[in-house]
Amino acid sequence: MSEIDAHYTKLKIQPIDFSMANNLDAMQHTIIKYVVRFRDKNGMRDLLAARHTIDLLIAHEGKKNDDTE
């Protein structure tokens, strides 16, 4: 595992393995990744990135729902 990914080595399940096993999309995976690593990597910056991605997902899902109504 690279030095970049060292913050994931303590986990029982890697975020990518969890995401793949549960058929999550890219935004869902990104949210999980940021939340899981925030204490060991970028702190508040990762939480803010997760929140930003959640906002993007909400907007995307809202637009999708608007298109189907």
**Could you report the per-residue pLDDT of 18-60, keeping only the tens digit for each?**
999 999 999 999 999 999 999 999 999 999 999 999 999 999 9
pLDDT at 64: 82
Give residue 2's pLDDT. Answer: 54
Q: Is the pLDDT of residue 1 over 70?
A: no
Q: Residue 48 corresponds to which amino acid?
A: L
Task: Grade residue 68 by pLDDT with cuts at 50, 70 and 90.
Answer: low
Left if phi > 0, otherwise alpha if psi is -120 to 50, otherwise beta: which for 12? alpha
Residue 65's pLDDT is 78
Are 34 and 50 contacting, i.e. CB atoms less than 8 angstroms apart?
yes
pTM of the shown model: 0.81
